[in-house]
Amino acid sequence: MYEFNLTLAMPFEQAMEKVRETLMSEHLGIVSDVDVQAIFKAKMDKDIPPYHILGACNPMLADRVISSEPNAGTLLPCNLILREDADGNTVVSFMDPVAVLGLCETEEPKAVAAEAREKLQRVIERLG
Could you report the per-residue pLDDT of 86-101, keeping only the tens digit for each?
Answer: 999 999 999 999 999 9
* DSSP conformational letter for 34: E
pLDDT of residue 1: 86
- Cα-to-chain-centroid distance, residue 73: 15
Average pLDDT over the chain, rounded to whole?
97
Domain residue extents for the chain: 3-127
Neighbours of 94 (CB within 10 A): 25
Residue 56 near residue 78 (C-beta atoms within 8 A): yes
CATH architecture of 3-127: 2-Layer Sandwich (3.30)
pLDDT of residue 7: 98
Residue 127 sits at φ, ψ, to 5 deg, of -70, -35
Q: Average of pLDDT values for 33-61?
A: 98
Run of H or E including 13: helix 12-25
